[in-house]
Amino acid sequence: MPSPNGSDGGPRAIEVALLASVFVVAACGLVYELAAGALASYVLGDSILQFSTVIGTYLFAMGVGSWLSRFFERQLPAHFLRIELLVALTGGCLPALLFLANAWQPAAFRPLLYGLVLLVGILVGLEIPLVMRILKRNVALRELVSQVLTFDYLGALAVSIAFPLVLVPQLGLIRTGLLFGLMNAAVALWALWLFRHELRRWHAHAVACVLTLAALGAAWAGAQQITTLAEDRFYQDKVVLAESSSWQRIVLTQGRGGLRLFLNGNLQFAESDEYRYHEALVHPAMAAHGAPRKVAILGGGDGMAAREVLRWPSVESITLVELDPRMTRLFSTHPALVRLNAGALNSPKLKVVNTDAFRWLEDSRDTFDVVIVDFPDPTNFSIGKLYTNAFYSLLDQRLAASGYAVIQTTSPLIARQSFWTVAATVESVGFTTAPYHAHVPSFGEWGYVIASRRPMRWPQALPEGLRFLDARSLPQLFEFPRDMARVPAEVNRLSNQVLVTTYEREWGKVHP
């Protein structure tokens, strides 16, 4: 005999089942929000701006959904079931749809992103009010609110920890979305059984559940093909390696020009001309010192800068500080990449420290003859902090009295204001600077800044075997034509991070 409320399990069973559903629903909703924010930051840059706008849009949409729930008066279990299936499909497929849009219709990415965030947010906003109204049949209001909010917050906590540490590194964004879509569909299936005696069109609901699970299951099975299709289209060359870490998406492609490395969609090097970039980055500062023994490399997890440093016989030790351990592991074990960096990461002279460079500078007590700063461009505030006067003040403490530091500093042609902002920021902490530039075909004109406590010394000789630099032509790199000449620039501080907005504005003119 069914119980009076329409289920064989009784009021207590329904209460437990629905509270468990609240936990799952909260976890799923937050995953879709985090996935949208992560993809927006990958594609559009400036992670703080993208996460802020995605979260704001999502919360607004949840408010709209909560308001709309007042119009659902009858057949609440049926409405809850349908909404779960819609959330499962739209939320679960959100990362895959955005990946494909970015690859095939880049102009559609932004409207599709916010359209999906609005839709998913509205649907998620409908879920909790409906669950509370169903539970209200059997639970006192005071206990109802406290129990529902407790399980809601617990679900959000669990997934906020698991998303960056477990889900994305192990499954990737597409499979993470699909996994939680399947969990939403499982909640719908649970509701189908739990309220089977209340649902008027039970068979239609059952078919909808089966079709949704089948669609998500098929997408799960083809997730790798979806990722490959999207990335092959986006990167044009064949993708030979693609991994996600807690910090970034690492993609390696193979084309006519050899291997190319992308981090979060941004080109880091091309095999055909990386030697130009890395010779220009390393050797002017090393030669200015003359005989450096202790060298630190901040960033540069690909080992290319370390390869150039090891050309100097005077070097006794190299400390390489790279945030992402997956990068250093990949470039110390993958045969093609070890060939590119000449096994530099496996040198007995080199020690790898996987930590944040800002924190390492704060904690370290060592001093170095040369420090090579090879960070990605300041596309967001988390990277932008590594270009602030606070960072360069810490760098000053780690540099020996006769030492030199060199900083990769974006393009002085395309991002002229950004380049000279870095130079002005370095000078603001008391360094003497020697800005220079080199032509790297994959990037165009690229800039660097040498920082020291004494004027730049021109080298008499450079290591043998270089393909780009020689002592005769080196001084020419320090000459700037009129279209790259110095312009007034504001100091980049932690409190303002003007460099990030300047960089976005200047590069946005090239890549709208």
Of 413 and 133, the structure prediction assigns the larger pLDDT to 413
Model confidence over 441-489: pLDDT tens digits?
998 999 999 999 988 877 778 998 999 999 888 999 999 999 999 999 9
Of 508 and 421, the structure prediction assigns the larger pLDDT to 421
Average pLDDT of the chain is 87
Beta-strand pair 317-321/294-299: parallel
374 included as an active-site residue: yes
The residues near 378 (Cβ < 8 Å, ≥ 6 apart) are: 384, 386, 387, 410, 418, 499, 500, 503
Mean pLDDT for 296-305 is 95
Q: What is the rounded distance in angstroms from the CA atom of residue 173 to the CA atom of residue 191? A: 27
Tokens of 273: 């001309």
* pLDDT band per the 50, 70, 90 thresholds, residue 238: confident
Share of the chain above pLDDT 90, in %: 53
Q: pTM for the full model?
A: 0.71
- Residue 218, classified by CB atoms within 10 Å of its CB into exposed (0-12), middle (13-18) or buried (19+), is exposed
C-alpha 470 chain-centroid distance: 38
Mean pLDDT for 44-63 is 84
Mean pLDDT for 185-213 is 89
Asked if residue 370 has pLDDT above 70, the reply is: yes
DSSP string, 409-477: ---TTTSHHHHHHHHHHHHTTT-EEEEEEEEETTTEEEEEEEEESS-----S---TT-SS--TTTGGGG
* pLDDT band per the 50, 70, 90 thresholds, residue 212: very high
- The pLDDT score that the predictor gives to residue 312 is 95
Distance between first and last Cα of the chain: 65
- SS3 (DSSP) at 359: helix
C-alpha 225 chain-centroid distance: 22
Asked if residue 5 has pLDDT above 60, the reply is: no
H helices of 136-167, in order, are 141-162
Q: What is the rounded distance in angstroms from the CA atom of residue 139 to the CA atom of residue 264? A: 48
* pLDDT band per the 50, 70, 90 thresholds, residue 21: confident
Asked if residue 179 has pLDDT above 50, the reply is: yes
* pLDDT band per the 50, 70, 90 thresholds, residue 132: confident
- The pLDDT score that the predictor gives to residue 7 is 45
Query: Which residue among 273, 374, 377, 396 is the active-site one?
Result: 374
The residues near 422 (Cβ < 8 Å, ≥ 6 apart) are: 387, 407, 409, 410, 449, 492, 499
Q: What is the rounded distance in angstroms from the CA atom of residue 113 to the CA atom of residue 104? A: 14
- The pLDDT score that the predictor gives to residue 3 is 42
Asked if residue 397 has pLDDT above 90, the reply is: yes
- Of 85-89, 113-117, 155-159, 360-364, the poorest mean pLDDT is in 155-159
Q: Which of 351, 332, 349, 352 is nearest to 341 (CA)?
A: 332
Q: What is the rounded distance in angstroms from the CA atom of residue 61 to the CA atom of residue 122? A: 5
Mean pLDDT for 387-408 is 95
